[in-house]
Structure 1
């Protein structure tokens, strides 16, 4: 995650040096999520065909090579192709890692293992922003550094003597069935995909276009992810006690309000970073909230298929978000970054409010446990988290000793 987190911000920093426009950088960002979506679908097939370790090593090598290739090319279409490749590789790496973690977990430890995995992902992205301050984006140093980090990260897996697990992903249910079961869950996940991809891919582009220093941009992007570590637990705790739609609506409204603050912050870096911390901090809890809310209206047999469907819907939104943001920033200026984010948060809040008038609240004691899953997880992790939530659904939701 250190290596992967570096390349997200590097795209904006080096892209500006290469003279890429905001729409071009939006296309490059969307390429990653297009590759990621394809990898989540096809990497289990590759694993079943040639084996867990071989796929893991091959995808790691391709990703490492792709990172080194960026500074050797200076056109947006080559960068887009490389981003598609890296997205595919990273998704396959996630699938294999999550399959391994899930296979080595028991019913008693699965919740803690998933939580630790998600914390490691978030800390890796945050730590990557600090590493970016150690080099110059105009040179190849940072790209080489990211490649080295990715390469050495595979040693523990490739040298492990533990048996490789199977990577089975359940067949997704139809999007129509998913929407019928939970209109808010499916719609909210789609728009949240657009928010997450815009924050992670276009945040550095916003910083460059507003004249922020490289160090300030790194801090700004880190703040977009750091908020999740603070807000995940309290929002999850609240969602297990009151109507989840209210928590979804409130979290989205908070995100929208702080996007307005970011829009009017101008060159005040403290205000911009504060807005990023709160608005970004709402994104990950919202993803987990929408997953949990969707599972509330599914049977245990339907949850595995719904996991793949939700990941697909999230990926579709993630592809679209940077494209819209890039074109809007090009047409109206860099602060359209906040306009698009704020508008999308508002859509989620408004739709949650509308759904409260269309469906009676489910009793709190009948809901599933809150699922701590970060955006960008593959169906393997989402399915495992859903299974864990179903296993713990019989616990008293007001019991503070119940696992979360």
Structure 2
């Protein structure tokens, strides 16, 4: 419960900042390349923070590290609320990624350490559903608070601060703690589980690309700003409904088969979304299905991690997940921004190709 609350609140911040910052940058004349690079700054913060996490684990408990990350994220969001300088927004986006990495690493290691393998898929499904609930709340704050005056950022900062306080109190009762992290374990995990890292790399690519560019794709196709934000929310509603169901499936069939299915479905659905009119009715059910499919990649990876790795390698795996997600998240928006700049309308082309190619690779190597 403690871990799920932490990740849900983090997801509110990420779900808000991705579409809101993209829309604000576009309104102020930023190009698609600038939008993509700004999203990549968040992922760079995630990656760099992995170098600091081992030092934190020597002095703080897992719950304390998560609370520190939430508190830092709240302060960063206040910075967005009071500033409109492009250069500073890159620094703040980096800082936000740096702070929330603690929630990724410790939350997922903690979750798997406390879960029995017979129900690991269902636990991962509930965890992912909580995360996606946060992603739904985040975009919905845009039409509620608007895009002016920094009110949406400020409201999110207040919510995160309250959650950090509550989580700090609850984490004192935790009976299970993940192992300490050593940087030397990261290359060991990479050699032992390259396909698992590929799964998370693909998820990071799709997640960052879709959250950053789907609003711009919608607006560019004639939809309103409110409709663009609502599309992100509908996509995540599909995730919420699907992840617990997917968790049951992960406990009953080969978890790698589920992951392959999610990759293939992601490629097909987003390829179709790219070809459909942004104002058509069909985009709404397809958006929900696409969100369910691509987030299922991560739910599958999380269940496989706990199934195949224990002890220090479990924590190393959670850290490797963070790096892989960050790498995919930096590459996806940057590459898509460059592509859309020269080929307008090809917003989801790389997502579609990556989903299908990754599915084929896993079938070939499994």
Same fold (TM over 0.5): yes
Q: In structure 2, do the counterparts of structure 1 residues 14 and 269 end up closer, same or farther at CA, with 3 Å as the change threshold?
A: farther
The question of whether the paired residues in 1 share the 8 Å contact of 2:48 and 2:98 is answered with yes
For 1:310 and 1:53, the matched residues in 2 are separated by: 19
For 1:77 and 1:255, the matched residues in 2 are separated by: 34
**Structure 1 residue 342: Cα displacement:** 0.5
Partner of 2:89: 79
Partner of 2:46: 36
Partner of 2:261: 250
- Residue correspondence of structure 1 range 103-252 to structure 2 within 5 A: 116-158=126-168, 162=172, 168-171=179-182, 178=189, 180-252=191-263
Structure 2 unmatched runs, 5+: 1-8
Partner of 1:22: 32
Structure with bigger helix share is 2
For 1:54 and 1:227, the matched residues in 2 are separated by: 32
Among residues 16, 20, 23, which one is paired with 1:13 in the alignment? Answer: 23
Q: In structure 2, do the counterparts of structure 1 residues 73 and 336 end up closer, same or farther at CA, with 3 Å as the change threshold?
A: farther
The question of whether the paired residues in 2 share the 8 Å contact of 1:252 and 1:348 is answered with yes
The question of whether the paired residues in 1 share the 8 Å contact of 2:218 and 2:278 is answered with no
Q: In structure 2, do the counterparts of structure 1 residues 301 and 211 end up closer, same or farther at CA, with 3 Å as the change threshold?
A: same
For 1:299 and 1:167, the matched residues in 2 are separated by: 10
The question of whether the paired residues in 2 share the 8 Å contact of 1:259 and 1:342 is answered with yes
Cα deviation 1:195-219 (Å, max 9, x = unaligned):
1221233333333333422221122
**Structure 1 residue 83: Cα displacement:** 0.6
**Structure 1 residue 85: Cα displacement:** 0.6
The question of 1:278 aligning with 2:279 is answered: no
Cα deviation 1:218-248 (Å, max 9, x = unaligned):
2211133222233334444445555545433
* Bigger Cα displacement from structure 2, 81-90 vs 235-244: 235-244
Relative contact order, CA 8 A, sep 6+: which one is greater? 2
Q: In structure 2, do the counterparts of structure 1 residues 319 and 219 end up closer, same or farther at CA, with 3 Å as the change threshold?
A: same
For 1:139 and 1:339, the matched residues in 2 are separated by: 35
* Bigger Cα displacement from structure 2, 156-165 vs 118-127: 156-165
Q: In structure 2, do the counterparts of structure 1 residues 216 and 168 end up closer, same or farther at CA, with 3 Å as the change threshold?
A: same
Q: In structure 2, do the counterparts of structure 1 residues 352 and 97 end up closer, same or farther at CA, with 3 Å as the change threshold?
A: closer
Partner of 1:350: 360
Among residues 331, 337, 359, which one is paired with 1:326 in the alignment? Answer: 337
Q: In structure 2, do the counterparts of structure 1 residues 178 and 114 end up closer, same or farther at CA, with 3 Å as the change threshold?
A: closer
- Residue correspondence of structure 1 range 82-101 to structure 2 within 5 A: 82-93=92-103
Among residues 60, 64, 72, which one is paired with 2:74 in the alignment? Answer: 64
SS of residue matched to 2:52 = helix
For 2:71 and 2:183, the matched residues in 1 are separated by: 29
Structure 1 unmatched runs, 5+: 357-404
SS of residue matched to 1:137 = coil
RMSD between aligned alpha carbons?
Answer: 3.5
Partner of 1:397: none
Q: In structure 2, do the counterparts of structure 1 residues 330 and 48 end up closer, same or farther at CA, with 3 Å as the change threshold?
A: same
For 1:242 and 1:160, the matched residues in 2 are separated by: 34
**Structure 1 residue 126: Cα displacement:** 0.8
* Bigger Cα displacement from structure 2, 313-322 vs 92-101: 92-101
SS of residue matched to 1:337 = coil
Q: In structure 2, do the counterparts of structure 1 residues 298 and 230 end up closer, same or farther at CA, with 3 Å as the change threshold?
A: same
**Structure 1 residue 37: Cα displacement:** 2.8
The question of whether the paired residues in 2 share the 8 Å contact of 1:174 and 1:309 is answered with no
Partner of 2:56: 46
The question of 1:266 aligning with 2:266 is answered: no
SS of residue matched to 2:148 = coil
Cα deviation 1:90-124 (Å, max 9, x = unaligned):
22355566688789x68699957765444322212
Q: In structure 2, do the counterparts of structure 1 residues 50 and 301 end up closer, same or farther at CA, with 3 Å as the change threshold?
A: closer
Cα deviation 1:165-199 (Å, max 9, x = unaligned):
86744336667654554443232332222112212
**Structure 1 residue 323: Cα displacement:** 0.9
For 1:207 and 1:81, the matched residues in 2 are separated by: 27
